[in-house]
Structure 1
């Protein structure tokens, strides 16, 4: 069962990293530091979008329209962190 706990923690860490990378990349694209016309940048951007949009879409449906401000990544980050806390507090159940 310890392996299951470690796998769940690893998955949450990877999701956390992808969300942070997606947010930072969106800022760099919006401030025109990165250009989506570059093939490498566009491949990373579209890959992250394909991974994270299924997670963001249900959150966006629940949240009110903020007129251009997307808070879905923040809500998902809080949810991932809350799951980590829940798993850490119940780690004894995995041993």
Structure 2
């Protein structure tokens, strides 16, 4: 059960990282603090491996980036599949 809990928390954490990336694209976060720059860089580095390939596969939709929406849906599907698999294994 601990493994299922940890997997669930990982997916939830990543979900929040994608949401933070979306919010950062709407609002210019303050970058005058070195700590804030490190947090922003971490969020971009952590989410780009998922968002980048999705963005490349999608057609140009008038400058609107739908990759976070698709990523969040995919994360939910993968999360549910992994948790169901772990329930059956344990």
Normalising by structure 1, what TM-score? 0.74
Deviation per CA, 1:7-47, whole angstroms, max 9, x where unpaired? 32222111111111221222121xxxx33344333222222
Pairwise CA distance, 1:91: 5.0
Count of aligned pairs between the two proteins: 90
State the match for 1:86 in structure 2: 81
State the match for 1:57 in structure 2: 52
1:15 is the counterpart of 2:14: yes
Pairwise CA distance, 1:78: 0.6
Aligned-residue CA RMSD (Å): 2.2
Residue segments in structure 1 that go unaligned for 5+ positions in a row: none
Residue segments in structure 2 that go unaligned for 5+ positions in a row: none
Alpha carbons of structure 1 residues 51 and 88: separation in structure 2 relative to 1, 3 Å:
closer
Question: What is the CA–CA distance in structure 1 between the aligned matches of 2:83 and 2:5, rounded to whole Å?
Answer: 10
Alpha carbons of structure 1 residues 12 and 61: separation in structure 2 relative to 1, 3 Å:
same
Mapped contact 1:5–1:94 kept (Cα < 8 A): no
Deviation per CA, 1:48-90, whole angstroms, max 9, x where unpaired? 1111111111111211112321111111111111123334545
